Amino acid sequence: MKFGFIIKAGIVFLTGLFSQISMAADTLDRIKKTQTINIAFREAALPFSYLSESKAPIGYSIDICAKFVEAVKKELKLPQLKVNYIPVTSDTRMAAMTSGQADIECGSTSNNAERREKVNYTLPHFFATIRMIVFADSGINNWQDLKNKKVVITKGTSTDKYLQERDKVRSLNMKLVEAKDHTESFGMLLNKQVDAFAQHDAILVGVKARSKTQEKLVVVGDPLSSEAYAMMLPKGDAAFKKVIDAEMVRMMLDGELTRLYEKWFTKPIQPNGVPLGLPMGVLLRETIRYPSDKVD
């Protein structure tokens, strides 16, 4: 009976796996048939993907994905292509992709080996590192200053692993708490429920720029990691990935990606008209010179 259970479990697993691969392999066909492309996006990941004052998705990643939409439209020779935006969080974005709900995830997602078992990625559009945002008068300047402190991280992000490692190596005895999204994490810091909010540097610069009390806040801490942000695509769909990757390479070589980067990271942006002042790093500059989706 135990052997029979194992066989049945294996059949169920393989059936689900083949179904997922089949669903993914038909992305272009389904888009052509429905004349609709489904884009998962983040509502609070400024400047990558967030809601404008009129509640429309905007951001660096959203602009890049708009180019992907045009490339798919051209590839399929469609007179029009409707974009269906699906809001996700760091905790729900993977399910949106693996279930087939979304065709592309346009946000601030790290490309790592664990996630590549479930999804494909296009070429990187950003390289981030983990730091933290604190009140300027907190006395916290680096990770060792977090001993016995309370730190918030956003659920479903890669930050947890790196903080756990630093906590263990330095014996910091940090208390880590999770929030559902970056807005909630930042709110906990502003309300002084925690001593620090740890996350990727660009996200922290973004939430600071959006805050009315930004002059009281600082982003500090030696970089804990270097992670490539890339758009998630359905696993096992080489044809769809080929179209998206080709457009990304075109944007890189034509200078379009650099112009979009400058628009969102060096010039004034919504909602406060404050520039983030985050110049392009060497890793992204090199990727633009020599396009590749290999990140580790």
**DSSP 8-class letter at 237:** -
140 and 264, same structural domain? Answer: no
Looking at residue 295, its pLDDT comes to: 86
Instruction: Specify if 264 maps to a domain.
Output: yes
Residue 271, H or E segment: none
Q: What's the angle, vertex CA 13, arms to CA 10 and CA 18, rounded to 5?
A: 120
117 and 242 inside one domain: yes
- Please give the pLDDT value at position 15: 41
Helix (H) or strand (E) holding 121: strand 119-121
| Measured distance CA(46)–CA(107) in Å, rounded | 9
Distance CA 24, CA 21 (A): 5
Tell me: the pLDDT tens digits for 92-119? 999 999 999 999 999 999 999 999 999 9
204 shares a domain with 266: no
Listed as ranges, residues in the chain with pLDDT below 50 are: 1-24
| Predicted local distance difference test score (pLDDT) of residue 14 | 39
The total number of structural domains in the chain stands at 2
CA dihedral sign, ordered 158, 291, 294, 98: positive
Residue 36 forms beta bridges with which residues? Answer: 82
Same domain, 118 and 168: no
Domain of residue 149 covers 130-225
**Distance, CA of 202 to CA of 59 (rounded, Å):** 12
Q: How far apart are CA 102 and CA 84, in angstroms?
A: 9
Structure tokens at 111: 């490309």
Residue from 166, 293, 291 nearest 229 by CA? 293
pLDDT for 25: 58
Chain centroid to CA 58: 14
pLDDT at 167: 87
Region class of 192: left (phi > 0), else alpha (psi between -120 and 50), else beta:
left
What is the CATH number for 220? Answer: 3.40.190.10
Q: How many CB atoms lie within 10 A of CB 239?
A: 12
Span 145-182, pLDDT tens digits: 999 999 999 998 889 889 999 988 889 999 999 999 99
Residues 209 and 242 in one domain: no
